[in-house]
Amino acid sequence: MSPLIFDAHLDMAWNALEWTRDLMLPVAKIREFERQFEGIIPGDCTCSWPELKRGKVGITICTLLPRLHRKDKLLTFPQSREAAYGMAMGQLAYYRGMVRKGVLREIPDAATLTDHVNNWLTQPSDDLPIGFILSMEGSPPILDPEQISEWFAAGLRILGPAHYGPSPYCYGTGSKGGVNADGKRLLEEMDKVGMLLDVTHLADESFWDALDIYHGPVLASHHNCRSLVNADRQLTDDQIKALIARKAVIGAAFDNWMIRPGWTIGVSDPATVQMQHIVDHIDHICQLAGNAKHCGIGSDLDGGFGKEQSPSDLDTIADLQKMAGLLSDRGYSDADIEGIMWKNFVELFQRAWG
């Protein structure tokens, strides 16, 4: 068992507030409660704080996600920037509450990160809080580029400027276009304060614009490979090579339609996807890089879906532990596996904050 897992993308506060989930409960209890409400929850949840601890997911990037979950796509996102800002601040308050409770530990700098990793590697994990680095997925809560410094002071360390469709600053999945004038200023303000850029969800034109404008540390928190699943939500080989050149780490996503070609939400059988197919994406990146230093895990579990849209050999997030054995079966060394399970992302942040 890996003594530590770093999961680079979890929408925990969004789950707690949008789905009104008590994430202090075991997953089995949450599932039992939610089965009373037919047609509301997409599928059985896979994440809760106790389940992260059971799986030794000791560090995660936790998001502020300005998104609703409505069947009408026009109502999926808040209708004003101010509403998105309020939503993100409410999610931030949830994380602060979990810190106060002793469940979470905020990780804003290299010294805290190093101390937290050392604790998890040397002490029983049952006695330790889960570390989280604060990120934002989508930029509507950033009311203007100059507000970046305010958000940084509030603890935000990573920004993914796009989600689905157009954003105030650029374009995301399912849309086309580059970074606009405000987006250029946004990226420049991020550079000034040392906020990392998450390229996940950026439309192709916005991806390349962002890498030209922004000169700081980059990651792709939850992304797979377009050469294996041909959709604009995935990274092309040229994009992967550009990220490798920037010393980025790419977190493998556990959403079935991103894992196997032709898998269709609500139609395809979950049994046709297993975690071994995620290793295909990891291996493809490693072959392009010539090493295993640019891969990690960014599961996105419970990111608007549940077990019905996750690999069939994964019941809860604790099953991320199976990835170590699957990587070993593919011939990856112990050092490579350690890197993919947690160390590559830790070293990225140590470099970024050094």
* pLDDT tens digits along 165-208: 999 999 999 999 999 999 999 999 999 999 999 999 999 999 99
Question: What are the residue boundaries of the structural domains of the chain, listed by start?
Answer: 5-17+51-353
Structure confidence at residue 70 (pLDDT): 77
Structure confidence at residue 75 (pLDDT): 66
Structure confidence at residue 143 (pLDDT): 98
Structure confidence at residue 295 (pLDDT): 98
Instruction: Tokens for 315, please give them.
Output: 């019941």
Q: How far apart are CA 188 and CA 131, in angstroms?
A: 28
Return the HEC string of the chain.
Answer: CCCCEEEEEECHHHHHHHCCCCCCCCHHHHHHHHCCCCCCCCCCCCCCHHHHHHCCEEEEEEEECCCCCCCCHHHCCCCCHHHHHHHHHHHHHHHHHHHHHCCEEECCCHHHHHHHHHHHHHCCHHHCCEEEEEEEECCCCCCCHHHHHHHHHCCCCEEECCCECECCCCEEECCCCCCCHHHHHHHHHHHHHCCEEECCCECHHHHHHHHHHCCCCEEECCCCECCCCCCCCCECHHHHHHHHHCCCCEEECCCHHHCCCCCCCCCCCHHHCCHHHHHHHHHHHHHHHCCCCCEEECCCCCCCCCHHHCCCCCCCHHHHHHHHHHHHHCCCCHHHHHHHHHHHHHHHHHHHHC
Side-chain half-sphere of 102: how many Cα atoms within 13 Å? 3
Choices 1.10.10.10, 3.40.50.150, 3.40.190.10, 3.20.20.140: CATH for 5-17+51-353 = 3.20.20.140
Structure confidence at residue 74 (pLDDT): 63
Could you read off the pLDDT tens digit of each residue along the chain, which spans 354 residues? 899 999 999 999 999 999 899 999 999 999 999 998 887 788 899 999 999 999 999 999 999 999 988 767 666 888 899 999 999 999 999 999 999 999 999 999 999 999 999 999 999 888 899 999 999 999 999 999 999 999 999 999 999 999 999 999 999 999 999 999 999 999 999 999 999 999 999 999 999 999 999 999 999 999 999 999 999 999 999 999 999 999 999 999 999 999 999 999 989 999 999 999 999 999 999 999 999 999 999 999 999 999 999 999 999 999 999 999 999 999 999 999 999 999 999 999 999 999
Q: How far apart are CA 240 and CA 211, in angstroms?
A: 12
- What mean pLDDT, rounded, does the chain reach? 96
Structure confidence at residue 98 (pLDDT): 98
